[in-house]
Copies of this chain bind each other. A is one copy, B any other.
C-alpha cells in the first residue's frame, strides 16, 4: 500500500499525468528518497535542500512550500512503523517543443510506502563496465534519468548485490544506490565530490561526525586497489544507512567491525 500525493492533493489510484510531462518523456526531473520512522522523515531538511539546489542548477521550478505540504499530508496518513518517502519533481510541460523549452506546471509527486531496511545485512559488489561520467548532471544530481544505474545493477546482479561504478578516469565513484567509504587505520576515506558521484546525505553525515568515534574522515581519489587493501569497506545510503561490503568481484575485503559506524549513524536518524 502506498500513500500518494500529486500536485496538491492526496490521490487514490493512478495519477492524471499530462502525456507531454517531461518527467515521463525525457527523465527531466529530480527525486529524493527518505527514510521514515513512524511520522518522522529522517534528514528531511537536507533532502529538500539538495533537491532545491539541483532544481536551481537545472532551472526546474521548485516550490518548497508545496513540497512541505505534500510531505506533511502523506506523513499524517502514515500507518507504517518504517517507510520510504519519495519526492519526485518534474519540469512539467515544455514550450516550445525543444530540449531548451521553458517548463510550465512542474509535477510534484510525493509517495510513502512501507519499507523495512535490513540494517545489519552485508553485501557484495562487482565492478560494472558502465562508467560514471563526472561531467554529467545525471551522475552529480539525483535526476529521474537513472537508466545507467539500472543497467549497471542489472549487469552484475547474477554475481553481486550491487555494482561498483568507476569514473571516466578509472577511479572508484560509488555504487548504483549509495556512496562508498573505506576504513584505513583511523581514517574514513570516500571518493571526492568531483569523482562522478552523487553526494549523499548519509555520506555528508559521516564526513561531519566521524570524529566522534575517533575516525578522521576525508575525501580522496580512491582506486580499486585501495578498496581491496582497506581494513573495511562500506556502502551508505539514506534508506539502508550503512552496510558492510564483504567482497569485490569475489575477492574478500577487510572485515573490521562496522558496529560503531552503524551506531553513530543510527543515532542521527532520531527526530
Contact = CB atoms under 8 A, between A and B. Distances in A.
A203 interface: no
A27 B100 contact: no
B99 A149 contact: yes
Contact of A31 (B25, B144, B168, B176): B25
Interface in A105-156: 109, 111, 113, 115, 129-131, 133, 135-138, 143-151, 153-154
A100 B147 contact: no
A131 B136 contact: yes
Interface in A7-64: 13-21, 23-28, 31, 58-59
A31 B129 CA distance: 24
Nearest to A134: B131
Contacts of A4: 19
Contacts of A6: 19
A145 B147 CA distance: 6
Question: Which of A13, A19, A23 has the most C-beta atoms of chain B within 10 angstroms of its own C-beta?
Answer: A19
Contacts of A17: 14-15, 17, 24
B24 A24 contact: yes
Contacts of A144: 24-27, 145, 147
A157 interface: yes
Contacts of A267: none
A15 B57 CA distance: 29
A97 interface: yes
Interface of A: 2, 4, 6, 13-21, 23-28, 31, 58-59, 84, 86, 88, 90, 97-100, 109, 111, 113, 115, 129-131, 133, 135-138, 143-151, 153-154, 157, 168, 176-177
